[in-house]
């Protein structure tokens, strides 16, 4: 196990962040993941990091905060926290986030508190968040098991066994085996995804039409000059990095006011420590005009009302139904993994990298070119075994992109 963990740490530092000599590195990690975080710190210094800055968090402390802190603190953001985030970003810091938590850690917390805090943080950190979305510096999200998460994914078995099973699934998803060679496999995987992007970019589809048997019937217009991205990308400073480990998606930005119809989620969404399930959206001229969930509806409604852009889509992503993570049959209750088992959308902010010249545009110019702006960005899964996606080219020709849940091009 230790050899696999060390290989994983080197993978996220060398492929995920591609840490450069003399670069600051920020690592956000749950305290339960300290053994893996320490390996990442060691790997970062080994490749020449200038300083590794650790930000720790804890599910228990977080829950106590959300339940018991004075009400006014949920509208406050300390200026020194904003200055720290922005200051390190302006110094070129690479950022690793280890995403591991109890999927229902905030069950029972007032959703208004969560929404207010998210809004305050997003507004205060707008400049920093814009730099992240524009990939000014490398960033990466990865994950390792914690007991509360493992027991949710594999209920009814002893904790140690659940942890072992979740580790096994994660290693499979991130292409780490007993034979080593993960870095080489990831270079090959990114090349495969890049080939798929080239095909989609060559078509420059005017719109996409989604249908399936669970009720989805959605038309998605794409901006002129949109760019499909996948696997590795380049920061504004020219550093190649992989933002998500694992990743199976190719994605772009929809035209903000060009999404119409009904989209039905195919998997639960973990939203701010709560599970939202059995939900759908109806959109008109890009805006969500109706939303319903069988479970966690109050959290979903609060999230799409955070600001004006939260009720518009910012990402459209294609993932084949027979992707390795999907074939595992495991519902991870973790967006990093579940989004790579399914086609998905995101409501909220669009990535400026998804349109030609986008990283050089002002917010007003991005909006004029059809890209959404928001303080949130939440992925939700829509892929099914019978999902059909038809692309319409600029001259009106129909191209079958997905048939029976998988790529047809």
178 lies in a domain?
Answer: no
Question: Are 144 and 208 within one domain?
Answer: no
222 lies in a domain?
Answer: yes
The angle at the Cα of 162, spanning 265 to 293, to the nearest 5 degrees, equals: 20
Question: Are 68 and 107 within one domain?
Answer: yes
Report phi then psi at 45, rounded to 5. -65, -35
Determine the structural domain holding residue 358 and report its residue range: 203-228+248-407
Question: Are 253 and 347 within one domain?
Answer: yes
Structure-block tokens of residue 390: 């038809």
Question: Are 116 and 218 within one domain?
Answer: no
Total domain count, the chain: 2
198 lies in a domain?
Answer: no
Question: Are 208 and 351 within one domain?
Answer: yes
107 lies in a domain?
Answer: yes
121 lies in a domain?
Answer: yes
SS3 annotation, the chain:
CHHHHHHHHHHHHHHHCCCCCCCEEEEEEEHHHHHHHHHHHHHHHHCCCCEEEEEEECHHHHHHHHHHCCHHHHHCCCHHHHHHHHHHHHCCCEEEEECCCCCCCCCCCCHHHHHHHHHHHHHHCHHHHHHHHCCCCCEEEECCCCHHHHHHHCCCCCHHHHHHHHHHHHHHHCCCCCCCCHHHHHHHHHHHHHHHHHHHHHHCCCEEEEECCCCCEEEEECCCCECCEECEEECCCCCEEECECCCCCEEECCCCCCEEEEEECCCCEEECCEEEEEEEEEEECCEEEEEEEEECHHHHHHHCCCCHHHHEEEEEEECCCCCHHHHCCCCCCCHHHHHHHCCEEEEECCCHHHECCHHHCCHHHHHHCCCCCCCCEEEEECCCCCCEEEEECCCCCEEEEEECCEECC
110 lies in a domain?
Answer: yes
CATH code for position 85: 3.40.1830.10
Question: Are 31 and 162 within one domain?
Answer: yes
Q: Cβ neighbours of residue 363 under 8 Å, at least 6 residues apart?
A: 130, 373
Question: Are 215 and 364 within one domain?
Answer: yes
Question: Are 55 and 142 within one domain?
Answer: yes
Question: Are 165 and 213 within one domain?
Answer: no
Tell me what pLDDT residue 2 has. Answer: 59
Question: Are 277 and 150 within one domain?
Answer: no
Question: Are 33 and 166 within one domain?
Answer: yes
Q: What is the pLDDT along the chain (409 residues), one digit of tens a residue?
A: 658 999 999 999 999 999 999 999 999 999 999 999 999 999 999 999 999 999 999 999 999 999 999 999 999 999 999 999 999 999 999 999 999 999 999 999 999 999 999 999 999 999 999 999 899 999 999 999 999 999 999 999 999 999 999 999 999 999 999 888 899 999 999 999 999 999 999 999 999 999 999 999 999 999 999 999 998 999 988 999 999 999 999 999 999 999 999 999 999 999 988 999 999 999 999 999 999 999 999 999 999 999 999 999 999 999 999 888 998 989 999 989 998 999 999 999 999 999 999 989 999 999 999 999 999 999 999 999 999 999 999 999 999 999 999 999 8
162 lies in a domain?
Answer: yes
Question: Are 126 and 224 within one domain?
Answer: no
364 lies in a domain?
Answer: yes
Tell me what pLDDT residue 93 has. Answer: 98
């Amino acid at each position: 196990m230790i050899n696999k963990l060390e290989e994983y740490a080197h993978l996220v530092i060398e492929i995920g962040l591609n840490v450069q000599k003399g670069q600051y590195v920020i690592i956000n990690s749950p305290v339960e993941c300290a053994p893996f975080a320490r390996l990442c710190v060691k790997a970062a210094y080994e490749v020449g990091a200038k300083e590794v800055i650790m930000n720790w968090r804890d599910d228990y402390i977080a829950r106590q905060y959300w339940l018991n802190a004075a009400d006014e603190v949920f509208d406050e953001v300390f200026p020194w926290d904003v200055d720290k985030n922005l200051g390190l970003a302006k110094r070129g810091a690479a950022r690793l986030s280890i995403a591991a938590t109890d999927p229902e850690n905030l069950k029972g917390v007032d959703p208004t508190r969560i929404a207010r805090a998210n809004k305050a943080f997003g507004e205060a950190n707008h400049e920093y968040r814009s730099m992240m979305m524009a990939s000014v510096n490398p960033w990466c999200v990865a994950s390792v098991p914690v007991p509360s998460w493992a027991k949710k994914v594999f209920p009814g078995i002893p904790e140690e066994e659940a942890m072992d099973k979740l580790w096994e699934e994660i290693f499979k998803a991130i292409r780490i085996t007993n034979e080593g060679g993960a870095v080489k496999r990831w270079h090959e995987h990114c090349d495969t995804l890049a080939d798929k992007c080239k095909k989609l970019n060559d078509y420059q589809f005017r719109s996409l039409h989604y249908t399936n048997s669970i009720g989805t019937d959605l038309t998605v217009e794409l901006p002129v000059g949109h760019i499909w991205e996948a696997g590795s990308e380049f920061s504004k400073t020219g550093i190649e990095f992989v933002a998500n480990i694992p990743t199976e998606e190719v994605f772009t930005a929809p035209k903000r006011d060009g999404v119409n119809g009904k989209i039905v989620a195919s998997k639960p969404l973990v939203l701010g420590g709560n599970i939202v399930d059995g939900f759908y959206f109806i959109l008109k001229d890009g805006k969500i005009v109706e939303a319903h969930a069988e479970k966690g509806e109050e959290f979903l409604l609060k999230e799409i009302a955070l600001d004006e852009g939260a009720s518009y889509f910012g990402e459209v992503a294609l993932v084949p139904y027979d992707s390795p993570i999907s074939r595992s049959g495991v519902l991870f209750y973790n967006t990093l993994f579940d989004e790579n088992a399914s086609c998905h959308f995101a409501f909220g902010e669009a990535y400026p990298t998804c349109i030609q010249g986008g990283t050089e545009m002002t917010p007003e110019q991005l909006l004029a070119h059809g890209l959404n702006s928001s303080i949130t960005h939440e992925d939700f899964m829509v892929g099914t075994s019978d999902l059909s996606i038809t692309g319409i080219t600029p001259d009106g020709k129909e191209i079958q992109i997905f048939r029976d849940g998988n790529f047809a091009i």
